[in-house]
A = this chain, B = another copy of it.
Amino acid sequence: MSGNGMDHIIKSYDDELARLTGEIIRMGELSISQLEAAIDVVERRDERAARHVVSSDEAIDQLEQEISRDVVRLLALRAPMAGDLRNVFAALRIAADIERIGDYGANVAKRSIPLTMVAPIEATSGLSHLAKLAAVAVRDVLLAYRERDADKAYAVWKNDVQLDEAYTGYFRQLLTYMMEDPRNITPCTHLLFMAKNIERIGDHATNIAESIWYQVHGEPLVKQRKKRDETASPDLSGLL
C-alpha cells in the first residue's frame, strides 16, 4: 500500500477537481433545460411557464457562486501548479460562460411574456430553429468538457458559423415583417432581441470550446474566425 500523506493530498485534489467538473456539467445541463423550456414557452405562449423559467435562473447563478467558492478553497488549500491550475481556471471561465447562457435563456423566456399579448405571428419558428442549433452547441461542448476532448470542442467552435448565418437570415426576415405591417414592429423587436440572445449563447459555447482547448493543449485556440455579428456589418444596409 502506498498510502502516504502525499498520495492523500493528490487524491483529494483529484476528488475536488472531479466535484468541480461535476458541478459544471450539472450547471450546463440546467442551462440547456432552461433554453429548451424558454423555446417551448415561446411556442406555447405560456406566461406562467415563462415566469417559471425566469425564476429558475437563480439556481444556475447559485451554482456558479458555489463553483467560485470551491475554486477559491481549492486554490487556497492546494495551491495547484501549471496543468492543475489550468484545470481550475478553465472551470472558473466555463462556469462564467454557462452563467451567461442561463441569463440569455431566461431573457428569451422573459421577452416571450409581452409576446403572448400580441397577435400570433408565424415568425417564431425561425427562433425555434436558432434555439435548437444553440442547444446542440451547448450540449456538444459540455460533452467535450466532460471528456476533455479538444477536437470535439474545436468542432463546436467551428460550427458556430452556422448559427451566425441562421441568425442573420432570421434578422432579415424579421425586418421584412416589420416593414410589411407596423403592427409587427413591437413583437418583432422582441423577437430580434430573443434571436440575438440565442446567437450570444452560441458565442459562449465557442468561449467554452476555447477554454477546453487551452485546458488540454496549454495554448490558445488560434482564432481563424473572429466572432462576428453579421447584422452589424455594412451589407445589411442593402435591405433599405
- Whether B192 and A189, one on each chain, are in contact in the complex, defined by CB atoms closer than 8 angstroms, is yes
Complexed CA–CA distance, A72 and B96 (Å): 17
- Which of these binds chain B: A4-12, A106-114, A124-132? A106-114
* A79 at interface, CB cutoff 8 A: yes
| Contact A182/B183 with A196-B193, A232-B107 known, Cβ cut-off 8 Å | no
* A224 at interface, CB cutoff 8 A: no
* A222 at interface, CB cutoff 8 A: no
Partner of A237, one of B114, B179, B196: B114
Q: Which residue of B lies closest to A100 (CB)?
A: B100
Instruction: Give every chain B residue within 8 A of A117 (Cβ-Cβ).
Output: 234, 237, 240
Instruction: Give every chain B residue within 8 A of A193 (Cβ-Cβ).
Output: 192, 196, 231-232
A206-224 to B contact mask, C-beta < 8 Å, 1/0 = 0000000000000000000
| Distance to closest chain B CB from A184 (angstroms) | 10
> Which A residues, 192 to 206, have Cβ-Cβ distances below 8 Å to chain B?
192-193, 196
Instruction: Give every chain B residue within 8 A of A175 (Cβ-Cβ).
Output: 185-186, 189
* A1 at interface, CB cutoff 8 A: no
Partner of A229, one of B76, B110, B118: B110
Instruction: Give every chain B residue within 8 A of A118 (Cβ-Cβ).
Output: 237, 240
Complexed CA–CA distance, A185 and B114 (Å): 20
Complexed CA–CA distance, A212 and B114 (Å): 35
Complexed CA–CA distance, A240 and B81 (Å): 59
Complexed CA–CA distance, A110 and B239 (Å): 17
Instruction: Give every chain B residue within 8 A of A79 (Cβ-Cβ).
Output: 75-76, 79
Complexed CA–CA distance, A190 and B175 (Å): 11
Complexed CA–CA distance, A110 and B240 (Å): 18
- Whether A183 and B232, one on each chain, are in contact in the complex, defined by CB atoms closer than 8 angstroms, is no
| Distance to closest chain B CB from A100 (angstroms) | 10
What 20 new A-B contacts, CB under 8 Å, besides A113-B234, A114-B234?
A: A47-B234, A68-B89, A75-B85, A76-B82, A96-B96, A111-B232, A114-B236, A117-B234, A117-B237, A118-B240, A175-B185, A178-B182, A179-B185, A183-B240, A186-B237, A189-B192, A190-B232, A192-B193, A193-B196, A193-B231
Sample 11 A-B pairs with CB under 8 A, ordered by A number.
A47-B234, A76-B85, A107-B229, A113-B233, A114-B232, A114-B233, A114-B236, A185-B185, A186-B236, A186-B239, A189-B189
